[in-house]
Structure 1
Amino acid sequence: MKKPVAIGFILLLALSVVASGCISGGNGETSGITLVVITRHDATIQYMVKQTFLQSDIAKQYNIVDLKFIKVPESLWPSYIEKGADVGWGGGPTLFDDLYKAGYLAPITDEKVLGLIGNPIPTELAGMPMVRKDGDNVYWIAAALSSFGFTVNKKQLEKWNLPVPQKWEDIASEEWALNPPQYGIADPTRSTSNTRIYQIILQAFGWEDGWRIMTLIAANSKVYMQSDAVRDAVINGEIAAGNTIDFYGYTAMQQNPDCQYIVPKGESIINGDPIALLKNAQHPEAAQAFIYWVLTEGQAVWMSPDVNRLPINPQIFEMTITKPYADVIFKGENEGKTYGEARPALEKAYQDAINAEGIPFDDKRALETISAVQYYFKATLVDPNQKLHDAWVAIVQAYRDGKITKEQFEQLKAELTAPIEFKDPETGQTVTFTEEYAKKINDKIVKDRNFQDQLVQEWRQAAGNKYDKVLQDLQSMTG
């Protein structure tokens, strides 16, 4: 049910990645500025932004004649930043906080941009930062809002006799122990949105219980390499539900009426998706003018039925749709209406999001363990996922068949989800992955490749051994 991508979008994406060398505008600079924007946003957003921004008064005022988008994995962002890209946009606060900590972001100095902070752009929502400040310096500003939950395909739920899940622990239940798996998750080392979901679960339930719940969710899941693949699998009915950021859920609902996006009540947060000035920006003044546009009239792009994102600036809902925006955003429709009139469901979703019952989420605490969590999750729940799934399904099936008692079932479940023990490569001591240990190794696991390789191998082996042992214990019980 995925919509075909227009040829223009494909050409735009093909032209967006610059292979090497300086990535400033080059010889064309004499007749105008080409801004270079590193982004995680897809070709649809890139196309709409380019078409609308270049017609804007701001683009004309600052003599910006082109936007060059570079869509690459986050691991490649530093190399393009060093080459002189102007703006970083999209990818979530985790990515931008990593860039900030590594010194890749420049403070925003434009008074018009800074004047938006507080009103209409909030400094925080539901306890989550919408602006990253260091003293008086502002390093990123949220350009859109995101919540986190799961998208379900009601037809598939009905087919598999599954109730509509409402909370994370519903997904961790034995009801979802199915072959083939009917839930989808993404590898956190490849998905910032799924990383955030796992961080939310850890803080919602506490470190140890959070890992137990995530172990069972992973046991019930098919693992995808990227988050958009999870969304597409739900849309297409390959699975019954999966982890999604909100706008993936809204897109799924639009493409397939059987789909529904659900925010786990009292078990989620609101994130701000940032935009930032980069440290080696070739055109810092023009770059900040673009940032101002994104935070004001450029919020219109989120209103597109092909984008479906929640704006950071609520004033967009009261703005009137002019012809240039109607042509690009709504394919010629809705001129003269307000954006709120054109997209009432999205405005309601915005109100629901900012009023949602969330958890008290400590962003600083999440940052202290983020890399360790990503690698540990991959090594223990993604890489040996088939062993984990097979062991869990066998336990559940044995209980359903009356081959083990309730007490034995709970015993095996506790064993399956218990923290693994492993040898610390530095000390040689046998330890478990506590939050304190995760904090201790968080930076080293990124910077020291040898340490990372040793530790990941230890984790992967220990996890695989644990799942094998649980299966052996089950076989001993059932004869």
Structure 2
Amino acid sequence: MCPIILRLAVALLGSALMLGAGAGWALEDRVLVMTSYPDELVQRFEQAFERANPGTDLQIVWKPSRDAAVELAKPDQGGVDVYWTPSLGSFPRLREAGAFRPLSVDRNVLPGVVDGQPVSDRQGFFEAFEVAGYGLVVNPVALARDGLPQPANWRDLAATRWKGRLAMPIAGQVGFSGALYDILLQAEGWEAGWALLGEAAADATLVGSGGQVSESVVNGEADVAVTVDFFARSAIANGHPVALVYPPRTAFLPAQVAIARSAPHPDAARAFVDFVLSAPGQSLLFHPDIRRYPVRPDVYAQAPAGTVNPFRRTGAEPYAYDMDKGLARHGLIAALFDSLIVERQDRLKLLWGVIHAAEAGFAAKPDPERGALVTRARALAGFVPVSGADADRIAPTFQERKSNRNPEERAALQQEWAARIDAAQAEALDLARRTLPAAP
């Protein structure tokens, strides 16, 4: 498309997508919206949209992100008008494939930035609809009962012996965990972050279901869980005695909405996007069964008591989280999590147990020589076979959409990782054992 025609298309579309400017349009009788949102969220938006736009039927097609991409790649895009879903990586890929029409919004109302983090497309093809924060869900009463401190930051995960009372999602099995662990890794540094994760996981319960991570704290199986916040916020709203802790260096990442390039009902599609980004639409996110964070600062005046305002978060530290870098790393993080933690958790429990015992002995009776051995053992125990300098170069090998093209390269890397991890951990265990007092 030539630049003049493209600018004209953007201008015409923008005249409707200025948060309510589309109210004068004569809408079509239906709009087809594709999503993977849960029913309790979708139903409330469906009912509210149809009340606001009588005569327009909102039709929902539920598709996970992989199936949605297939649908939107069809010549007619499956008749879809709007793609509206919490799938962080889908929107940039679909934008590059030309799947969306350009949008335009009023940045005085929708800043496109939350907690210093850009959340909307800088090219203008999709817009943030809500954001979720990443942190810890805790049961304060259970922590007090078990004599455990309440963690306040990521480093506290490795500072406490949890005895299985910490729940952590398995990166390759839980969808939100790629972003969760990348936030921690960018906050703490790549090598230091992996060492922290390994030490914490040695004393944790690994969970393979996203909802079950927070649920493990709600039902008493764990005292602390590392999670995305909306599961916990819904539990809190429904009266469960749990609380959320956002580490000072975390991020709030978006779910997004876009209009399909071939939308057969473009006016109704614009009206739907206008509605979900409007004050009435955004306020629905405060419902106890939804509990997501709106992307409009002006609606937080209506927020329930105790709601964190991510636009005015107290205790936050300056942290420029790089979301694009994180999206590229999710597959690599899942592969490393399997190699370092899932496949070797029993060994980690033994290794870190010996290190902690050695450190306790050194603290009771300082000895510079033993202290140096313990320090070296700790460094080897936290070994990660991919350096921070190499992570971005290796990450494409493990991206989901590319990994099937190079299975031999991926397998060879993982085999090399295994040998290097085993060697580092064996040496760490030997060093730590040498510092323990001899048996009587």
TM-score category (smaller protein): 0.7 to 0.9
Q: Is the 8 A contact 1:396 1:409 kept in 2?
A: no
CA pair 94-358 structure 1, distance change in 2 beyond 3 A: farther
**Partner of residue 19, structure 1:** none
Q: Is the 8 A contact 1:270 1:354 kept in 2?
A: no
**Partner of residue 445, structure 1:** 398
Q: Which amino acid aligns with 2:143?
A: L
**Partner of residue 195, structure 1:** 178
* Match of residue 419, structure 1, among 370, 384, 387: 384
Q: Is the 8 A contact 1:149 1:245 kept in 2?
A: yes
CA pair 278-372 structure 1, distance change in 2 beyond 3 A: farther
* Match of residue 105, structure 2, among 112, 115, 121: 115
Aligned mates of 1:383, 1:256 — CA distance in 2? 37
Alignment partner of 1:410: what SS?
helix
Once the two structures are superposed, residues 428-479 of structure 1 have per-residue CA deviations (whole angstroms, 9 ceiling, x without a partner) of xxxxx12342222322333142133433344345435544554455445546
Q: Which amino acid aligns with 1:383?
A: E
Q: Which amino acid aligns with 1:115?
A: V
* Match of residue 142, structure 1, among 128, 136, 145: 128
Q: Is the 8 A contact 2:376 2:428 kept in 1?
A: no
1:345 and 2:275 correspond:
no
Once the two structures are superposed, residues 282-328 of structure 1 have per-residue CA deviations (whole angstroms, 9 ceiling, x without a partner) of 4444333212111112213211111111111233356xxxxxxxxxx
**Partner of residue 371, structure 1:** 331
CA displacement at 1:359 relative to structure 2: 1.0
CA pair 376-228 structure 1, distance change in 2 beyond 3 A: same
Q: Is the 8 A contact 1:125 1:354 kept in 2?
A: no
Alignment partner of 1:208: what SS?
helix
Q: Is the 8 A contact 2:45 2:281 kept in 1?
A: yes
Q: Which amino acid aligns with 1:253?
A: I
**Partner of residue 289, structure 1:** 271
**Partner of residue 213, structure 2:** 230
Q: Which amino acid aligns with 1:444?
A: T
1:124 and 2:113 correspond:
yes
CA pair 131-438 structure 1, distance change in 2 beyond 3 A: same
Q: Which amino acid aligns with 2:347?
A: K
**Partner of residue 90, structure 1:** 85
Q: Point out the more displaced range, 383-392 or 157-166.
A: 383-392
**Equivalent runs, 1:153-168 vs 2, <5 Å:** 153-168=139-154
CA pair 105-316 structure 1, distance change in 2 beyond 3 A: farther
Aligned mates of 1:394, 1:255 — CA distance in 2? 42
Alignment partner of 1:373: what SS?
helix
**Equivalent runs, 1:246-257 vs 2, <5 Å:** 246-257=229-240
**Partner of residue 3, structure 2:** none
CA pair 475-356 structure 1, distance change in 2 beyond 3 A: closer
Aligned mates of 2:171, 2:91 — CA distance in 1? 16
Aligned mates of 2:197, 2:152 — CA distance in 1? 16
Q: Which amino acid aligns with 1:50?
A: E
Aligned mates of 2:414, 2:91 — CA distance in 1? 25
1:33 and 2:30 correspond:
yes
**Partner of residue 214, structure 1:** 197
Aligned mates of 2:374, 2:145 — CA distance in 1? 26
Q: Is the 8 A contact 1:123 1:129 kept in 2?
A: yes
Alignment partner of 2:319: what SS?
coil
Q: Is the 8 A contact 1:235 1:256 kept in 2?
A: no
**Partner of residue 51, structure 2:** 55
* Match of residue 260, structure 1, among 231, 243, 247: 243
Q: Is the 8 A contact 1:373 1:438 kept in 2?
A: no
Q: Is the 8 A contact 1:204 1:359 kept in 2?
A: yes
Aligned mates of 1:186, 1:292 — CA distance in 2? 35
CA displacement at 1:351 relative to structure 2: 5.4
**Equivalent runs, 1:434-473 vs 2, <5 Å:** 434-446=387-399, 447-449=402-404, 450=407, 451-460=409-418, 462-464=420-422, 466-473=424-431
**Partner of residue 424, structure 1:** none
1:176 and 2:161 correspond:
yes
CA pair 358-184 structure 1, distance change in 2 beyond 3 A: farther
The TM-score normalised by the length of structure 2 is 0.79
**Partner of residue 410, structure 1:** 375
Alignment RMSD (CA, Å) = 3.0
If asked which structure has higher relative contact order (CA below 8 Å, sep 6+), I would say 2
Q: Is the 8 A contact 2:115 2:313 kept in 1?
A: no
Aligned mates of 2:340, 2:253 — CA distance in 1? 27
Aligned mates of 1:99, 1:399 — CA distance in 2? 51
The alignment-based identity, stated in percent, is 22
Q: Which amino acid aligns with 1:96?
A: F
Once the two structures are superposed, residues 322-345 of structure 1 have per-residue CA deviations (whole angstroms, 9 ceiling, x without a partner) of xxxxxxxxxxxxxxxxx44xx233
Q: Number of aligned pairs?
A: 395
Extract unaligned runs of 5+ from structure 1.
1-30, 319-338, 421-432
